[in-house]
Amino acid sequence: MPMITIKDLTFGYDGSENNLFNNVNVTIDTSWKLALAGRNGRGKTTFFKLLKGELQYAGSITGVPPTVEFPMEEFPDSEEWRVRKELNLMGADPDIMWRPMETLSGGERTKLMLANLFASDGIYPLIDEPTNHLDRLGRAKVAEYLSQKEGFIMISHDRDFLDHCTDHTLVITRSGIELVNATFSTWWDNNETRMQSEQARNAQLKKEMGSIEAAMKKNAQWSKKAEGDKSRNNPKGAEDHFRRAFEAKKASKLMSLSKNLENRNERKLEEKQSLLKDLEREQTLKITGSEHHDRKPIILKDLSVLRYGERIAENINLTLERGKKISLQGPNGCGKSTLIKYLAGVAEEEGITVEGDVHIAKDLKISYVGQDTSSLKGSLYDICADRGADKTQFSTILVKMGFTGEMLYREVDALSLGQKKFVMLALSLCEQADVYLWDEPLNYIDVYMRKEIERLVKESEVTMLFVEHDRAFAEAVADEECEINL
């Protein structure tokens, strides 16, 4: 099998503060089922672009077969019967291949793209986050499907999914690249153990640094006192001339002793500082909702949802009580997002209407996070201003989410997928709303941040209706579940 050889790869985007890759050396066997993992913004998607030769870099990358990336705008040439076969293998309706793309649900689109990718010969699939729009069943089916395939690289933040269908793992970390002949979970567990011992070592180093700093402070006080003694001992008369000279000499000796000590302590401190490991950690986020006077701000009875007159969901019954969180569930394409869009008041442009009983409290303040990030256009601060959010609060939240000062002045196009979703979440966190409508808030978001968002929602008193296929999140935060079916 051909090997991809990467030597001394160094790359950073123009104008950004740090390089994403520094002198990376790695060899990839193209027959591996390779998981590509790492936190949001570490450079996974960029790594694909480098393999495809779309960016200029230092070093060399050789042996890359012809590639096709998922998601793609155009399908590779493949025969109809083969696409049909692949769709069948994924448990998808093969007829979706004849439907216009814009009428397919996110999950259906994902399956169609993957089917086309594997129905063609001689291409090396680079798969960037296929799970986002898949429901639980879809995710399990696609994982099973991919586990039967060979030779691809796949980026995902879904640990179970990666474990199911990959055999090697390449992780982009803060300090470089790690390649293991194991599943992502194996890498993760080893990394956790490593982090714990590094954390303990950090705590010990911090303690030692504390004592060095205390010694330095004492030393500084001592040398100040010596200097003071020198100027206070100012006897008059010639007989004291020798005494003055003696005092000055003593003080200068003490000063140089103290300087030496200070330098030595500073060196020690620097040494300890350099040993401190910069561990992956999150800062805590906050969400503050408002309290509408209506104790049941949204009530839906026997509701049907229609798009351009076509019924896509029916029999929806739901009562959202103040301070409660409801998880909206159901398979791909059952109308969850459509219902959320209707409630968020963004239904008109997509021809969404409803039939049945709807109660939405008067003057209800709603904060909406949509499923995908394509609505974001332009610079971050323009987006913030358009939404009427507070610029300082918006920036503070993004910095807590890992943005650097330079990134705040960027156009959205120059952000990673996860970072775009952070922008949408940050806007929502800036809003004091009566009800939060979040459609797949964890799409594109890495494992660490998922945990933080889970904690945030769980510990807050906000009222929320959400869709999220991440089972752990839904189970941890929801007070109730509401299943939608057609």
Contacts with ligand ATP, residue ranges (CB under 6 A)? 13, 16, 20, 38, 40-46, 407, 414-419, 444
Q: Does residue 45 bind Mg ion (CB under 5 A)? A: yes
156: number of Cβ within 10 Å: 23
Binder of residue 444, out of ligand ATP, Mg ion, none (CB less than 5 to 8 A by kind): ligand ATP
- The minimum distance between CB 417 and Mg ion, in angstroms, equals 4
Q: Look up residue 144 and give its two tokens.
A: 């099973």
Asked if 104 and 96 count as a contact pair (C-beta separation under 8 A), the reply is yes
414 binds, among Mg ion, ligand ATP, none (CB under 5 to 8 A by kind): ligand ATP
Least Cα distance to 434 among 394, 393, 465, 462 occurs for 462
Helix (H) or strand (E) holding 439: strand 435-439
CB of 335 to ligand ATP, least distance (A): 28
In the complex, least distance from residue 413 CB atom to ligand ATP, rounded to whole angstroms: 7
- Which does residue 338 touch among ligand ATP, Mg ion, none (CB within 5 to 8 A, set by kind)? none
d(CA 80, CA 156): 28
First-to-last C-alpha distance (Å) of the chain: 47
Q: How far is the CB of 404 from ligand ATP (least distance, A)?
A: 8
43 binds, among ligand ATP, Mg ion, none (CB under 5 to 8 A by kind): ligand ATP
Residue 300 to residue 28: CA distance in whole angstroms: 53
CB closer to Mg ion, 43 vs 441: 43
Rank residues 157 and 325 by Cβ distance to ligand ATP and give the closer one: 157
In eight-state DSSP terms, residue 238 is G
Least gap, CB of 277 to ligand ATP (angstroms): 21
Quick one: how far is CA 484 from the chain centroid?
A: 29
* Distance in Å, CB of 273 to ligand ATP, minimum: 25
Burial of 263 (0-12, 13-18, 19+ CB in 10 A): exposed
Q: Are strands 310-320 and 352-360 parallel, antiparallel or unpaired?
A: unpaired
Cβ-closest residue to ligand ATP?
Answer: 418
State which residue, 33 or 42, has the beta carbon closest to Mg ion. 42
Question: CB under 5 to 8 A by kind: which of ligand ATP, Mg ion, none does 13 bind?
Answer: ligand ATP
Q: What is the size of the binding site for Mg ion (CB under 5 A)?
A: 4
Q: How far apart are CA 469 and CA 455, in angstroms?
A: 17
> Residue 75 binds which one of Mg ion, ligand ATP, none, with CB within 5 to 8 A depending on kind?
none
Nearer to ligand ATP, 69 or 434 (CB): 69
The nearest distance, CB 474 to ligand ATP, in angstroms, is 21
Burial of 123 (0-12, 13-18, 19+ CB in 10 A): middle
Q: Which is nearer to Mg ion, 44 or 139 (CB)?
A: 44
DSSP 422-436: HHHHHHHHHS--SEE
Q: For residue 68, give Cα distances in angstroms to 110, 122, 148.
A: 14, 10, 19
* Residue 325 binding partner per list ligand ATP, Mg ion, none, with a CB distance cut-off of 5 to 8 Å that depends on partner kind: none
Site for Mg ion in 383-442 (CB under 5 A): 416-417
Between 230 and 410, name the residue whose CB sits nearer to ligand ATP: 410
d(CA 18, CA 21): 9
Contact characters 321-360, Mg ion, x per CB under 5 A: ----------------------------------------
116 contact, one of ligand ATP, Mg ion, none, CB 5-8 Å limit per kind? none
Token readout for 17 is 């503060």
Residue with smaller CB distance to Mg ion, 44 or 141: 44
The number of angstroms, rounded, from the C-alpha of 128 to the middle of its chain's C-alpha atoms is: 14
* Cα separation, 39 vs 403, whole angstroms: 13
CB 98 within 8 A of CB 41: no
Which one, 43 or 370, has the nearer CB to ligand ATP? 43
Instruction: Please report the beta strands in 92-210, taking only residues with DSSP state E, as ranges in sequence order.
Output: 124-128, 152-155, 168-173, 176-180
Choose from Mg ion, ligand ATP, none: what does 32 bind? Cβ within 5-8 Å by kind: none
Listing DSSP states for 183-202 in one string gives: -HHHHHHHHHHHHHHHHHHH
Q: Closest approach of Cβ 336 to ligand ATP, in Å?
A: 23
| Minimum CB distance to ligand ATP, residue 17 (Å) | 10
* Contact set with Mg ion (CB under 5 A): 44-45, 416-417
